[in-house]
A and B are shown apart, each in its own frame.
Chain A
Amino acid sequence: MTENFEKAIREICSGNADDRTRMIDIVREVQQLFGQISGSAMDIIADAVNSHRVEVESVVSFYSFLSEKPKGKFVIRLCNDVIDKMQGVGKVAKAFQEELGINFGESTPDGKFTLEWTPCIGMCDQAPAALVNDKMMTRLSSDSAREIVKSLKENEDEYRLIHMLGDGNNANPLVNSMVSNNIREKGPVIFAKFEAGKAIHKALSMSPVEVIRDIKTARLRGRGGAGFPTGMKWEFTRGAEGDNKVVICNADEGEPGTFKDRTILTEKPDLMFEGMAIAGYAIGAKTGVLYLRGEYAYLRPFLENVLADRRNKKLLGISILGKTGFDFDIRIQMGAGAYICGEETALISSCEGLRGDPKNRPPFPAQKGYLTLPTSVNNVETFCCVAQILDKGAGWFAEMGSTGSTGTKLLSISGDCTRPGVYELPFGTTVAEMLVKAGAEDAYAVQMGGPSGQLIGEADFHRKICYDDVATGGAVMVFNNDRNPLEIAHEFMEFFCEESCGYCTPCRVGNELLKERLQVIINGKGTPDDLDYLEQLGKTISVASRCGLGQTSANPVLTSLKNFRGDYEKLVKENKDGMQRTFDIHKALATGEDLQGRKSVIYAE
């Protein structure tokens, strides 16, 4: 047994070339095989890849899909983001608990099931949703939850849970998923017709510098949310010292409420991979990495197949399309459940087989990125735009959208609306126009750009969706009049507290303090001073945090405070006598009274 155990783990390591930078792949495989990465497994891995136990352990303890303690054969991860809660995840959770006889965070005694909460898994348009091992279960109800458990107990096979397949490639045998695309509006860029190889063919007829010039002429900006000009990023990377360069595609869409990349990965992978190859050509890179979030593991076999197909067509590999000297290939790096890995430097850490800790900047990834090589990290959607720009021309692209924000933007809309799903709209569309399309005319509050974006109200609905006005990475969550902006902000703060990597104090501690004080206000015990406190603390966290997570984590509080101040003011009361309403002397004394065997005289009830 022990010998076999060691042999199996050493085989996994050697399957990954005993390469410590592939640690995430190694531990993922061990987790899958044994349902845990035990201490002795870590020792063996450390020895095999010439690393240290603590290095393996730091990875295992960081990612939520990895665990040192044994997990059940079937791990059910129920999504608890704000949209799932609105769609009734509570009842589903109760059904799972009752059927399995365990609470969240526990495993059944027979080792068959583990029940866990997980943040957004990219299915807000078909919530409530859960992952059963790698399988996506969508549109759950308490009944379907009970059926899932029943079927798993009977058949012990998660593949038999899929009865109805989704539309488009979701029904492809390699995907075999019940997920629906919910593509509601197709635009001229992402969801337009595209012939694989055409764009790269055109790119190869130009020099790399001309390709970058085209991207600059199209004024393409990064689609992940920050909106950095793509051409400029490529130019920096191209100009950086070193012959080996890297292109990374960020498909770690973990921002709650975002699911746009899911539809690209399902329906337009060729477009995305073509964009990556063009980037490789323009920058002078040989290596491409698609960083796929762990939650989307169900898409991996399909994507590997697309890559194999492209290799056959000479669209990847050595001398692409016969061009001597242009060698470029792409590997898929799986994530393992960590929101922070969507931040580009944390993503690079993760690709290198480390904890998803952000890195210090400078040096920027364009100078020293993946394995210290100059690296360009771009969003899935950005690469799609690149391919279309090369195919249809920079002028064609630049004519769409608004001056500062050219082209179209994918928006994933969910929440209180009748038509949730993915919309490809030209930049410059107003929030109000978007709401009409989504069937959300009675929206009270709209979270633009996910928790790290902004919560806006009716006064801002006339504003335009673009980088210079209402910027968004694509997540749009709609809330109607029954929802309380403070509670929405509180939900998001809980998310950030959970996902903070803990490296820097402003983020690790500050977000907890923000959340605490917000709860005080929600409980009706706040004072007007607390609003100033939230504002000051929020600004401190934004300014003093080390990476993008902390720099934006206070946004739910800051923007709801700005745009829904009335909702806050309704709840706070002036503290005239100076006594804190949050302090309960009777509660504070209860244990002491018990232990000291008498009741308080000063504070007799």
Chain B
Amino acid sequence: MAKPKIATASLAGCFGCHMSLLDIDDRILKLVELVDFDKSPVDDIKKFTGRIAVGLIEGGCCNEENVHNLQYFRENCDILISLGECAIMGGIPAMRNTIPLKECLDEAYLNGPTVYNPTGKIPGDKELPLILDKVYPCHEVVKMDYHLPGCPPSADLIWQALVALLENKPMDLPYEVIKYD
């Protein structure tokens, strides 16, 4: 029987959650025995190669490309997990949500004290994804099946969650794994 597939994505995040995933250390060898990595920045596979068992999403949605990518994951993954604060609540990028978008962009591209922008325009090149009015947590865009909290979630938490899902066992959650201060 083929191994189940795992895919990961980093949307509006800092890749910290992916770093934490790599922090599972030598258990990654055991993980490779359990699963195949599909579309992911870890292996640079761009397109899904089949049905995915578990998709891990880092970061929320700040632009159209994030939304598109997230919807693509939802179509192809059986289980979708919000990994970390940004995916769950928008995190640091969502700090701009309290400020109107125009003010944000004006400050960044027109009025900021260190800005040099002779065109006097906000960048609109078609290579740049269009920005959303605010940063959305993943579950406001598509249905998310689970949320793994933390900034980043610890390697142990990610490991526990994946193994529990893949082996269809209840998750072992000792206090240390979900304690944040």
Contacts and interface: CB of A to CB of B under 8 A. Distances in A.
A160 interface: no
Interface stretch (A201-209, A435-443, A550-558, A596-604): A596-604
How big is the B interface, by class? 20 to 34
Contacts of A575: 143
Contacts of B126: 598, 601
Interface stretch (A88-96, A251-259, A415-423, A576-584): A576-584
Nearest to A589: B130
A591 interface: yes
B130 A598 contact: yes
Contact of A591 (B67, B74, B133): B133
Interface string B100-143: 01100100000000000000011110101111111010011111
A536 B63 CA distance: 32
Interface in A516-543: 527, 529
A537 to B, nearest CB: 14
A577 B128 contact: no
Given A578-B74, A579-B74, A588 B132 contact: yes
B74 A582 contact: no
A192 interface: no
B80 to A, nearest CB: 8
A587 B133 CA distance: 8
Contact of A589 (B75, B123, B132, B142): B132
B71 interface: yes
A529 B134 CA distance: 25
B3 interface: no
A1 interface: no
Given A589-B130, A598-B130, A579 B122 contact: no
B122 A597 contact: yes
A590 B63 CA distance: 12
Contacts of B74: 577-579
Interface in B50-102: 63-65, 67-68, 71, 74-75, 80, 101-102
Contact of B68 (A583, A592, A598, A602): A602
A580 B142 contact: yes
A305 to B, nearest CB: 54
Contacts of B133: 587-592
A575 B143 CA distance: 8
A592 B101 contact: yes
Interface of A: 527, 529, 575, 577-580, 582-583, 585, 587-593, 595-598, 600-603
8 contacts: A527-B143, A529-B143, A577-B74, A578-B143, A580-B139, A580-B141, A582-B140, A602-B68
Given A578-B80, A590-B133, A591-B133, 5 more contacts: A578-B74, A588-B134, A589-B130, A595-B102, A595-B105
